[in-house]
Structure 1
Amino acid sequence: MSRIVELAALIQQRTADINAHLQENNLPQPTFDEDGPTEQNLTGEEMVKARDDVLGATLELHNLILGPAMCLRPVLNGVSLQAIYKYDIAAAVPVHGEISFAELANKIGLSEHNVRRILRYAMVFHHVFREPREGFVAHTAASRRVRENPNTRAGLGYMFDEVWPSFAHGWNDYHKSDKPFYKHYASHPDMAQRFGKAMAAFTDAHGNAPSFLAKNYPWEAINNGNGTVVDLGGAKGHVSALLAHQFPNLQFVVQDMPEVIAGAAEALPEDLQGRVKFQAHDFFTEQKVHADVYLLRNILHNWSDTYSIRILRALIPALRPGSRIVLHDYILPQPGTMSRMKEMAVRDMDLIMLTLCNSRERQEADRIELFKKADSRFSNIKMWTPHGAALSIIEVVWGEAGVQAALS
């Protein structure tokens, strides 16, 4: 059997599996209709794998039919989304209504022919907006999400204003700054606020959701369920709030730069007020809070080894025997050891880290070496990747080198 026929058969079978799951559980079918679901209801190990199988196979089949020469052409089809973000076009299109290209162009200050070409491009490439009749624009589920979800909009802005330019120029060169991005944010609070919202959007991405961390780490065993967790670089407290809901006896301290946490405490649900606290803190400086667990979710991948070691060493003054450092981060796989879609996501993030931060994702051996260089008392390193997750959980115990310290 040829590879293209093999892929087509796999797509047909796994799509049928997904369809059966949706029907059996009375779940909505995928659609880009304006009122359609903006998230796929494919949970559980088998459905996550089915989704990965279909996406990986369709991508490979697409590229095989496209051919090697065309696959070498650069992908620039995000430009229309950049314009949609920059001119806030989604906000100008009425929900459950329509607007002419001419009126829309007048509202956002662009020429009619440019609006038409930008949106028709987004329609065909991304299913963002639709043209219900010639010359008029209406929402799809995707464009409506951009209009109604501020974190989604922040995510677009972050990618186009910071990540994309960094691929070509490097973050510091493009922004004409001699400071790391987090220090640059101190004098650019609008960027800091967008970064916090963007991180909240990205944490919920498929396979990256903090629910994997909540379900697959023994939070209930931390000081018999009554422990304290410091969430370093926790932005608006999105992850701590989730954990606090599920483990009502734990206390959380979210630490980040003051411009990032501004307004976060007031936005918490009433039942979390007082149990999730926010504290301005630069994680390169000495840690003052004694805690049972120090959570670093997608933190060390932002920093080279030199700076990552500084972050870890800054924790030492507050650590007590048995204190845990818990990372929720990618572990670079050996090629071909995970699904194509998951490996693509990891390789993609690795290059983003190179261009954005001059940092990297790390293999298992890299992480062991990093803690060893920071201090030999970081011991008993454990790493595991929950079924269906893209991010791994790494636990490190503080104590005498080589001595196991149990959760109290």
Structure 2
Amino acid sequence: MDLTLAIFLLVYVAMGVGHMPGLRLDRTGAAMVGAMLLIATREISPAAAWASVDFRVLGLLFGLMTVSAAFVVSGFYDWVAVKVGNLKVGPKGLLAILIAVTAAMAALLNKDVVAVAMTPIFCSVCVARRLNPLPFLLAFCFAANFGSAATLLGSPQNMIVAETLELSFASFMAATALPAVLSLPLTWIVIVLFYRGRWRLSEETAPAGATAPDPQTPVEFDRGETIKTGLVTIAILAAFLFSDLPQMLVALMGASVLLISRRVSSSNMLHHVNGDLLLLLFGLFVVNGALAATGLPEQVLHALRSVGLDLHNPPSMLVIMAVLSNIVGNNPSVMLVAPLIGGAHHPEALGAAIVLGTSFSSSIVVFGSIVGIVVAEECSKRGITLSFGEFARAGVPTSLLCLLMAAVWIYHLN
């Protein structure tokens, strides 16, 4: 038990810091090394390790990431980013459209893929239009995180919550969609107030390197492949809503149809599937499974209840997840509590608390989500300064307002 606990703690330290301190071992590497060490030291048997992995989640995630990757290689994301960025509207109108489009795409597709595909194009468009990119990139980041909470398609943590609490696509959406939508005007209001009078770049205020030619070239738009992918996506959504077929099988069937193509190579499409994330979740399933076998999680759960913290209580979970996700990250935090939330009396309210807690707290710190990391890295490449302070000044009030609204909503559900 001592070795299992030590490996578990080290893995989650890496989740929080971003790497294993003193080593060049990132989150995915730490999760996989931890899992392999637990198996090699016989802290968990190979059979128990395999049994601890929820392949329904991994299969669903792989299938949906493949669908999203098909939109990448068809040039759809780049086409949307360019079209939105070139609209002949003022900065406030552009901000509103950007928020709405980003949230919709994040809810129906994978928010992390949306961020990777569209952030460079938005950077280019803002510089070309002599617009200050910061309010638009922050809005993009917040809207992707908040909008993804609307459906179980939006992020891996949503899928884990839905599978753990046995929530259907419709019941999940009923529990989270309204607050996700209401978060969008709150985002727009905060950013408009914070950046009033600072919408445009000037020669004096332009970030270093922002006026340099941008090397990012949009992927050529393929109308036929986009239509094919769109039809498959609609079929998947219809199956989720109107059939009892397992969601994993539906997603994998859709992915199979898209991978069979005479025009797009499967290697190109699979290149855009986030294999690191799949391995991260695989490793964490094994690490968490080994800890669960020790009985320690049940002891912790009992201790928490004795001091008034019930993990089956939605308001408590909203606060816990908002704090925890900013310590170890969105996906690891959900993985951490997933074994402890089964059998909840109000699964919809508890699921909403977990999903909204992780999603709405993502704008507090720049590294609070993968989307924030992507945006920060793209800014750095282009000489655009997005500091922790700049991110937090707009992000903290946005998150707090959204979390307050979520608390009211969860009280209503509960």
Higher relative contact order (CA 8 A, sep 6+): 2
TM-score when normalising by structure 1: 0.24
TM-score when normalising by structure 2: 0.24
Which has a greater percent of helix?
A: 2
Greater CA radius of gyration, 1 or 2? 1
Which has a greater percent of strand?
A: 1
